[in-house]
Amino acid sequence: MTVSTTAIPGQLRALLALTNSEIQVAETRTAQARTEAVRRELVQNAANARARAEAINEALRDQGVLREVIRPAVGRLVGVGKLVAEQAQPLDEAILGDLALEHQLLDRSRYLKALAVAEEHTGVVDLADRLITAHAATVEWLTTVLAEEALGGPVALRRSPTQWGAGVAVRAATLPAWIAARGVDQLVDTVRRVPSTVAAVRGRAQEVGTGVVDSTRTQAENAVDTIAATVDSAVETGKERVAAVTDAVGSTVDTAVETGKERVAAVTDAVGSTVDDAVATLENSVTAGREAALDAAESTARDSGATGLAEAVRSLRESTGTVTAEQLPIGDYDSLNVGEVVAAIRDIEDARDIRVVVAYEEAHKDRQGVISAAQTRLAAIAQEVVGLN
């Protein structure tokens, strides 16, 4: 049997181009990392890919092929083109694209090994083994990320803004089919309940919103009155003191001016502090008002029997971290330290509970140790779902 003498260089060239695409993808994905641990892993992956590209170049030189210059550049351009195109896709489609790239690298690496064994080229066999190990691990990682996305996340990679919008568009496009599947009767019943439910929700929201606005307005008016009174008092005091000093001794005018400057500076500091306090109070009031409005909307929907609407509001609260600590799957959550929360996360079996914990943690304390532990637990659940060890 005759063994091809050109197949190995050809596969090495193809692997080099694909590896440069992989480098471009890995470097871009670092910006989408959910946690610092994931970001470090992606940075290391990009560095490892660059090392593999250099090893492939060395193997090509051993085959008598000049160092590739054009092909790596083409590979990087292909990677950029892929990343630009996927911005119009949901995150799961982007991950599937990454997975297809890694499968192609893995399959070509296996083919390269078979060719090298046939030609008894030990160096290329070792390189192929190295490539197979790396790409098999990446395939497993991407499969896990895809399963995390299927389970509702949170995935190791965040959506870019355009990917988030694309995902919303896809869900909107599938909404008519969902309505048909639920049945016309149920739809009619839901529509019948909507006006009263919406009116009730609007009433509750208006009550909450009016309270927040009135409270904020009162605080702002009080702050303005305080500022005005302070300034007026300072001005009058300054006038009286300057007049008295001027009548008594002309040489003390300079001293009076300096004193006035100090007092103005003090008033300015007081004004700035009051304004900062007012802004902080306003921000807290808006946050509290949003959480209260969502809670009121969910309660009203449940009370009126609109279970579907209530569940939709509850899902929104869970995804934005606006549930209360008492509604989390981990008891006494706010009083637990990082180690205690991490230990409790390991016992969670439901992916939805993981999502709720992560959203709440990101919206409140934002402890990276907790978020990383939740991500690890979700990855384990996802791997079990898809049959990975």
Domain-ending residue, one of 301, 322, 343: 322
- Give me the pLDDT at residue 233, please: 62
Question: pLDDT tens-digit profile of 150-180?
Answer: 888 766 777 655 444 444 444 444 444 434 4
Burial 167-202 (b: 16+ CB within 10 A, else e): beeeeeeeeeeeeeeeeeeeeeebeebeeebbebbe
Distance in angstroms (rounded) separating the CA atoms of residues 113 and 129? 7
Domain-ending residue, one of 149, 172, 195: 172
2, part of any domain = no
Amino acid identity for residue 246 in this structure: T
pLDDT at 184 over 70: no
Write down the residue that tokens 């996802």 correspond to. Answer: 382
In this structure, the answer to whether residues 191 and 127 fall within a common structural domain is no
- Give me the pLDDT at residue 277, please: 57
In this structure, the answer to whether residues 306 and 188 fall within a common structural domain is yes
The total number of structural domains that make up the chain:
3
Tell me the chain's radius of gyration from C-alpha atoms. 32
Question: pLDDT tens-digit profile of 94-123?
Answer: 889 999 999 999 999 999 999 999 999 999
Looking at residue 90, the DSSP 8-state letter turns out to be -
Least confident of 21-35, 36-50, 121-135, 268-282: 268-282
In this structure, the answer to whether residues 113 and 227 fall within a common structural domain is no
In this structure, the answer to whether residues 161 and 30 fall within a common structural domain is yes
Three-state DSSP state, 228: helix
Distance in angstroms (rounded) separating the CA atoms of residues 178 and 88? 23
Query: CA dist 355 to 154, 311, 389, Å?
Result: 6, 15, 22
Does this model's pTM top 0.85? My answer is no
- Give me the pLDDT at residue 232, please: 60
Least confident of 40-44, 58-62, 232-236: 232-236
In this structure, the answer to whether residues 47 and 162 fall within a common structural domain is yes
- Give me the pLDDT at residue 79, please: 53
Least confident of 95-99, 316-320, 340-344, 381-385: 316-320
In this structure, the answer to whether residues 164 and 193 fall within a common structural domain is no
- Give me the pLDDT at residue 18, please: 94
Structure tokens at 199: 């009116």
Mean pLDDT along residues 226-230: 55
pLDDT at 201 over 50: no
Confidence bin at 70 (pLDDT 50/70/90): low
What is the span of the domain harbouring residue 343? 329-389
The number of beta carbons lying within 10 Å of the beta carbon of residue 363 is 14
Among residues 297, 283, 93, 323, the alpha carbon closest in space to that of 202 is found at: 297
| Dihedral sign computed on CA atoms, order 35, 41, 47, 53 | negative
Select the more confidently predicted residue: 29 or 9: 9
178, part of any domain = no
Q: What is the mean pLDDT of the chain?
A: 73
Cis, peptide link before residue 154, omega less than 30° from 0: yes
Amino acid identity for residue 42 in this structure: L
Structure tokens at 97: 């694209």
Helices within 249-306 (DSSP H only): 253-303
